[in-house]
A and B are shown apart, each in its own frame.
Chain A
């Protein structure tokens, strides 16, 4: 054993060799692997999307967004995101609030449930809605009687999107709110703030960047979701197609330029999301550090 210790020591303090050389080589190799991987699996496909989209010229590219079916797909995608993001903000806030500020039975069960949409395959998520709201489903006969359309119409697409994006906001808020603890709220309350005032003046400013971060991720997923939406859509052109479904249809109809043009729209959205995400992430991290430092002091 003493020999082993001596050996390991001698590696650390070998004279004349910079101790960092090995690690720097490892670092370069690892970075190289990561960059190659990113290049092949991320950057290259992105480049392909844009070159294919522009293959037949900028005129065809822009023209593919003027097609009424494309416009309808864009509209439906915006509606789905426009409904599911606010819903998830409200839900995420409520859930994160309840989980971090109160102790109650079933708290960890709630945390697990919030993660359910991440664990379930999107296709299964879609099928769940078909089984509940479909004509042969649990609520089917009642819905048919009252002429309410959910599946194969916009409400079904919105529902599926809400389900899929369920965890994003809550997942971002919970760690931060846990970190921040209750002190500030308690202080506000002793100073006489009521619930809403306290939330608006104390909690919200503390979590706003994390909230925004959650919203951005939620929005990106809402617009890009394919699987769950595909199951409940019914694929009616110009009516129940979202952007990702429209890409598939165009591709299947040999309209490759238009398919890639629409795909590029989603890619641009993804890039905007990434830029926003990076900016917000920076603010969130600073806030986390700040609250951690404050926590240490107390």
Chain B
């Protein structure tokens, strides 16, 4: 028995050391979605530097990344995030609805519907664009394999799905204003059916459904599966940047969707950790010139372009971006109609 004591003592000593170090450092947890890894790596360092200067406190920001829906589920199940920075508003609504961790009207607490940066969906193809994919309808060309994550677990995939739907709707109707026009009800109905068929056909060409955007990117890029990756604009830029301009190129379709990844404070958890001030400052810092500049640097479209170097804005191509609120009637409706169990996605996706 004797030899065990020193071990026990050293374990206790270690634990005490660890706690005393923790006492001087404030830690907070940001639960985020997949493609924000590089952005928040940079941003966290920048924020910690600013916070140290301002308050003298050392702050350590812990990160957790994964498919947006999966991450929301984890927070609901008790992953104690001080802030969440997810891919779409519905996932945060779900946290509010199922776990009551933050107020229902969270989205009005920060500017631009709580989205400090926006993005859109573009195509990533192999160098030289061998299958000549230019726009959404080219996805249905014979022999084209499409890579996208699973809309059930991934926020990016839900944007992919809706962008494809929006493209077909727009092609059928010509003018999306008809969606509001009661006289065009018949035409709208037919167009919706066509759009549904289009999306069904697209998903028929998907050989692998990963759970998150990053998984899909590695499937396309590393494992060399598929001819076109439907990706977040920032993810596509990053893949080209990290893995070689000589291997991939970005194709911007004629029309896509305005993706607004929102951020918010998780009231219950940040209060529990005594981190409200810190978490609030963290989120506000995303809207500051530095936060906006970092967003643009990592290929997110800043909410306020005037704060960013115009050179950095040139990389974002101009294209028509559909709004989820006007075209689809908002996330709540979209979620129940398309992505909940038994919804349209379940009906059309039969592997």
Residue among B29, B78, B242 making CB contact with A151, cutoff 8 Å: B78
User: Chain A 237-257 against B: per-residue CB contact (8 Å), 1 yes, 0 no?
Assistant: 111000000000101111010
**Residue B313 at the A interface, CB < 8 A?**
no
Q: Does B64 contact A (CB under 8 A)?
A: yes
Knowing A136-B98, A136-B99, A253-B37, say if A149 contacts B80 (CB, 8 Å).
Answer: yes
Does A12 interact with chain B (Cβ within 8 Å)? no
Across the interface, do A234 and B79 meet the contact criterion of CB distance under 8 Å?
Answer: yes
Q: Does B113 touch A at the CB level, under 8 Å? A: no
Task: Tell me the bound Cα distance from A152 to B70 in angstroms.
Answer: 13
Q: Check A234–B74 contact: CB distance below 8 A.
A: yes
Known A-B contacts A237-B64, A253-B37, A254-B242; the reply to A152 vs B214 at CB < 8 A is no
B62 at the interface (CB under 8 A from A): yes
Known contacts being A136-B99, A254-B243, is A236 close to B76, with CB within 8 Å? no
Q: Which residues 212-247 of B sit at the A interface, judged by CB distance below 8 A?
A: 214-215, 218, 222, 242-243
Interface residues on A, range: 20 to 34
Q: Which chain A positions have C-beta within 8 A of B80?
A: 149, 152
Contact among A134, A239, A249, A253 with B77 in the assembled complex (CB-CB below 8 Å):
A134
Q: Which of B34, B62, B74 has its CB near the most chain A CB atoms (within 10 A)?
A: B74
CB of A87 within 8 Å of the partner chain: no
A134 CB contacts on chain B under 8 angstroms: 77-78
Q: Across the two chains, which residue of chain A brings its CB closest to B34? A: A252
Docked Cα-Cα span, A261 to B74, in Å, equals 29
**A251 in complex: contacting residue of B64, B74, B78, B218, CB < 8 Å:** B218
Asked if B66 is an interface residue, CB under 8 A from chain A, the answer is: yes
Set of chain B residues within 8 Å of A235, measured between Cβ atoms:
64-66
Complex alpha-carbon distance, A251 and B218, angstroms: 8
Measured between alpha carbons, how far is A277 from B81 in the docked complex, in Å? 42
Q: Is A140 an interface residue (CB 8 A)?
A: yes
A276 to chain B, nearest CB (A): 23
Point out the residues of chain B lying under 8 angstroms from A234, CB to CB.
Answer: 64, 74, 79
Contact present for B99 and A236 (CB under 8 Å): no
Cross-interface CB contact of A152 among B34, B63, B66, B74, cutoff 8 Å? B74
Against B, the Cβ 8 Å flags (1 = close, 0 = not) of A71-83 are 0000000000000
Within 8 A of A (CB), among B73-118: 74, 76-80, 98-99
B77, A236: Cβ atoms under 8 Å?
no
Is the Cβ of A239 less than 8 Å from the Cβ of B62?
Answer: yes
Cα distance, A252 to B242, chains bound together (Å) = 12
* Cα separation A152 to B74 with both chains bound (whole Å): 8
Report the minimum CB–CB distance from A46 to chain B (whole Å). Answer: 19
Nearest chain A CB to B64 CB, angstrom units? 5
Q: Could you tell me which residues of chain A, from 125 to 139, have a CB within 8 Å of some CB in chain B?
A: 130, 133-137
Whether B64 lies near A236 (C-beta < 8 A) is yes
- On chain A, the residues within 8 Å of B29 by CB distance are 236
Is A35 part of the contact surface with B, judged by Cβ < 8 Å? no
In the assembled complex, which residues on chain B have CB atoms less than 8 Å from the CB atom of A268? none
Query: Measuring CB to CB, which residues of chain A are less than 8 angstroms from any residue of chain B?
Result: 130, 133-137, 140, 144, 149, 151-152, 234-239, 249, 251-254, 256
Some 13 contacts from A to B, beta carbons below 8 A apart, are: A130-B77, A134-B78, A135-B76, A151-B79, A152-B74, A152-B79, A234-B64, A234-B74, A235-B65, A238-B62, A252-B34, A252-B37, A252-B214
A-B contacts besides A134-B78, A254-B242, 5 pairs, CB < 8 Å: A144-B78, A149-B78, A151-B79, A152-B78, A234-B79
What 3 A-B pairs are tightest by C-beta distance, nearest first? A135-B78, A134-B77, A234-B79
